[in-house]
A and B are shown apart, each in its own frame.
Chain A
Amino acid sequence: MKDEIIIAGFGGQGVLSMGKILAYAALENDLEVTWMPSYGPEQRGGTANVTVILSDEPISSPVLDTFDTAVILNQQSLDKFESKVKPGGVLIYDPYGIHHAPTRTDIKVVPVDAMEATIEMGQAKSYNMILLGALLKMRPDVPVEAVVRGLKKALPERHHHLIPANEEAIRKGMSLVKE
């Protein structure tokens, strides 16, 4: 098993955190994992992305040109990464704020109304967890239980009371993926 994932959006949308939580979940599930962020000023606005690789074998390059799975949170990232999804791969995106939807037909394109769901749920901060839920539905690389254990490691203790809300958002995201 190997999943080469790109998560991309605006700085502040929780792109790096989503990757980090996934990486901790992989650690909990005894998988090999690398987490390679774009770093620097883009964390304070502009685009941010992170490459997460999960594998049951040692991982060579943490830097990739093509991906099995893409989770896309804004138009710039869609423009940049749609062509980088391997044929047969999965592209998950939130249509909110997207003017030019993905056009590829050789990959599985999965729209997830995550922004709408966060507004409905009244918890804007779990936006990224809804998308993580959609990712886990499409790519069951790690069980949700491992993600919850991963959350405990990824979040400082003072935020642990938010874990149930995060889990709820993850499950919401899973339910938003239409078969």
Chain B
Amino acid sequence: MKDEIKLMKGNEAIAHAAIRYGADGYFGYPITPQSEVLETLEALMPWETTGMVVLQAESEVASINMVYGGAATGKAVMTSSSSPGVSLMQEGISYLAASELPALIVNVMRGGPGLGTIHPSQSDYFQATKGGGHGDYHLIVLAPSTVQEMADFVGLGFDLAFKYRTPSMILADGIVGQMMEKVVLPPQRERRTNEEIKRQCPWAVTGKEGGRKRNIVTSLELDSAVMEKNNERFQRTYAEIEKNEVRYEARFTEDADYLIVAFGSIARICLKAIEEARKEGIKIGIVRPITLWPFPYDAIRDAAKNVKGILCVELNAGQMIEDVRLAVSDSVPVKHFGRMGGIVPNPQEVLDALKKDFINPSDSKA
């Protein structure tokens, strides 16, 4: 059977994919450029079909704590927001990580800092990959660059979150949230029954019956000796994730003289720049990290072996570039190109930046 191809916005794809996954609940608060996630869920009324709960909470702080509550019962629950809203959620996200709860958080980034603009940005890379909230924790961070990936990463994000009992995040931006393109939605799955949840999530608070110890879901542990053990367990989980779950896409890297590293929507703008450059005989390859944490250090190191320079292209002042530099040490010069505050560069600007940094460096003195 031919899969049905639909045309929709990335934000709409997130909503459809959540219902198709058999998610149990969504809690969120509207903010541009991701309000269509909540709007689409409200329009589709999944509570009448799959039984999925959709609730507009009173704030982002309430949303993330509702997610905490739902996740503690073993349910597949999620929220979505944009940069300022995700900042408000950081305490709750840290609690989710510390309580080893699976959940999905979507951040459709806009230009910051502060309330900033409503236009696309990637300036929450540090927040998403290096903590964001307090304490030693990581989120699994997935960076979609197409509407198809917006849909696919909902299921992947939930699956990874449940596999490792840790929250995962889809880190998108206003471009991939607002643009429409073709998408094939995943097949509709049944929501798990309470019995299935009890079997799959023996740690969850599902109502204690006789014969087992009570489950306590908490991030508080006043005995530091135990808290250190907890932290060691978290770190073992993160090491497993780093070993198993690195994802990236590498293109045109075999014969490349230069390498671009870019994630999300800007990677597509870079791809167009690479196509144009090939017409001029300039060979550029690209590595697009799909998981921003765990970061594809090895893939970048391998792709950089024979290149004269790496241009890290981001919609920010230079954040992922720190991880790219860690990947290659000082073996290759690494430069950054980016626009900030909601401005998106076009393919020509990317190509000009690469030429200025590596091919005609004398021009840049002007």
Please choose the segment from A62-70, A85-93, A120-128 that sits at the chain B interface, where 4 or more of its residues have CB less than 8 A away: A62-70
A95 within 8 A of B: no
Given A23-B7, A27-B5, A40-B119, are A63 and B175 neighbors across the interface (CB < 8 Å)?
yes
A65 near B180 with CB under 8 A, answer no
B265 within 8 A of A: yes
Residue of B nearest to A41 (CB): B118
A36 within 8 A of B: yes
A37 near B178 with CB under 8 A, answer yes
* A 83-117 to B, binary, CB cutoff 8 A, 1 in contact else 0: 00000000000000000000000000000000000
Interface residues on B, range: 20 to 34
Residue numbers in A under 8 Å from B119 (CB-CB): 40
A63 to B119: give the CA distance in the assembly, Å. Answer: 13
B347 within 8 A of A: yes
Interface residues on A, range: 20 to 34
Residue numbers in B under 8 Å from A3 (CB-CB): none
* B 154-180 to A, binary, CB cutoff 8 A, 1 in contact else 0: 000000000000000000001100111
B181 near A35 with CB under 8 A, answer yes
B275 within 8 A of A: yes
Residue numbers in B under 8 Å from A36 (CB-CB): 175, 178-180
A39 near B32 with CB under 8 A, answer yes
A10 within 8 A of B: no
Given A39-B174, A60-B271, A60-B275, are A24 and B33 neighbors across the interface (CB < 8 Å)?
no
* B 265-279 to A, binary, CB cutoff 8 A, 1 in contact else 0: 100110111010000
* B 17-50 to A, binary, CB cutoff 8 A, 1 in contact else 0: 0000000000000001100000000000000000
The chain A residues found within 8 Å of chain B, CB to CB, are 20, 23-24, 27, 32-37, 39-40, 59-66, 153
Interface contacts beyond A61-B346, A62-B175, A64-B347: sample of 18 additional A-B pairs, CB < 8 Å, sorted by A: A32-B181, A32-B182, A33-B7, A33-B180, A34-B179, A36-B178, A36-B180, A39-B174, A39-B178, A40-B32, A60-B268, A60-B269, A61-B268, A62-B179, A62-B265, A63-B175, A63-B269, A64-B346
The 7 closest A-B pairs by CB, nearest first: A65-B346, A61-B272, A60-B271, A35-B180, A60-B272, A61-B269, A36-B179
The chain B residues found within 8 Å of chain A, CB to CB, are 5, 7, 32-33, 118-119, 174-175, 178-182, 265, 268-269, 271-273, 275, 344, 346-349
19 contacts between A and B (CB under 8 A): A23-B7, A23-B180, A24-B7, A27-B7, A33-B180, A33-B182, A35-B179, A37-B178, A39-B33, A39-B178, A40-B32, A40-B119, A59-B181, A61-B347, A62-B181, A64-B272, A64-B346, A65-B349, A153-B7
